[in-house]
Structure 1
Amino acid sequence: MKLFDSHIHLARLPQPLNLARSLHQAGFKYCAVACEPWEWTALDEIWEKAGGEGWLEGCGKAYGIHPMIAAKIACDFDKNMADLRRRLEKDPDAQTGEAGLDKRYEGYEPGGVQEEIFRAQARMAMEFGRDLQIHCVGDYGRVIRILREVGFGAGAGTGVRPDACVKRSRPVFHRFGADAGIVKAGLSLGAIFSIHADSFRKKATREALALIPAENLRFETDADESFVQDANETPQQFAEKLVQTLSETINALP
């Protein structure tokens, strides 16, 4: 089975360079997501070294600002958005995000700083024709509304691009956990739904998964520092754990 993890935080994992080698040897491909400025830099360093060794064939990366840090970086908003723009310009294949809304963190209220930073990243994804990795804990309906307001879904399902020179951006609902109504709304925007083990917890989400066409499905581990249970695991053992976790998620889909 060919495995692709659509959302992994490589730079947050132990011995990431050696892990990249072990994942390459296992045939495990992924999108490495970096969701705050220090992580962007760390991922770039890993990418330069691992890419030179040929360990990243079939892999990609994403740069974004997670809602958990939106309030903290708001004072440097212009600087961080300019840095994000430079990284997307440098890598024409990089996705945008992880971006979105999370009710557990400051600035979640309508019109708050989380929404401001999410809108800015959504617009940037549209401008560059990049997929947008979306984090949502709270209000999927508000996320859908914002995506529509910035232009996602224009021409979706019609075979017509807004600009023939620019790839159409797609929302990627990371660690998807909503219901059938959001699936239908997301499909109208050309969305991808990234399935995590947690996606099977709620009955409404389990039922909604049956409505998603196979071409709109992805699978993920969302592995970060919280995924580490044993500090003594070798990169090879950790790679095996990732393979097992992603395989179990894929096989859990009805």
Structure 2
Amino acid sequence: MLNQFSRTQLLYGVDAMKRLASSRVAVFGIGGVGGYVVEALARSGVGALDLIDDDKVCLTNINRQIIATHKTIGKYKVDVAEERVKDISPDCEVRTYKTFYLPETQDQFDFREYDYVVDAIDTVTGKLTIIENAKRVGVPVISSMGAGNKVNPAAFEVADIYKTSICPLAKVMRRECRKRGIDSLKVVYSKEPPVRPLEDMSISCRQNCICPPGTARKCTERRDIPGSTAFVPSVVGLIIAGEIINDLCKGYRKDEIN
């Protein structure tokens, strides 16, 4: 029967689509990267999504986040993402958590429920906690490295964390993963050296904060405020979604995905 996933089914087949429909994926961080992960998973027929982010949509998100429009400014990102998923895939089960993921909040989540975990947050402590919890219960996890201060979307690739280079965040994550005995981690990273943002105080959030009322973590409190584009975080998110879909569908297609 023709449905919104028919074009995907032409490539993956019935069994793979059933596998996707029965899968639950947790996406930690619904920003420039995570928003596009959610978008692609919903459009691919994943049956259940857990969306975790405590942030609200800000005017400065519009340049890169698929959930950000002038109509959604001030709304919680997970609420906007849930509404969007339901418009795309009404049967998708969505659970939202207005939570900033850190060791102190990890007890809210049972990683054994997930078929795949996405780390799309930007704090090292939170990233490591997500990765450790996923590894502990044997759930596949994929992690986004730095997408800010980059202008070349073609420079991103999928690799094990220990085979990465150039990316400053990947360097920190290699060191911390090694300390914790994490022997492998699938990541998406860029070999492009970071571009140094302009020091223009007239457009800096440092002096012109416009975070929505009630924002828990304002950008004025951040150590660095990276520059960003529409075409870099989106590519990272779509690469991650592609890895998830192809991994989940392995063994459910006659022609195995390499």
Q: What's the TM-score once normalised by structure 2's chain length? A: 0.30
Q: What's the TM-score once normalised by structure 1's chain length? A: 0.31
Q: Which structure carries more helix by proportion?
A: 1
Higher relative contact order (CA 8 A, sep 6+): 2
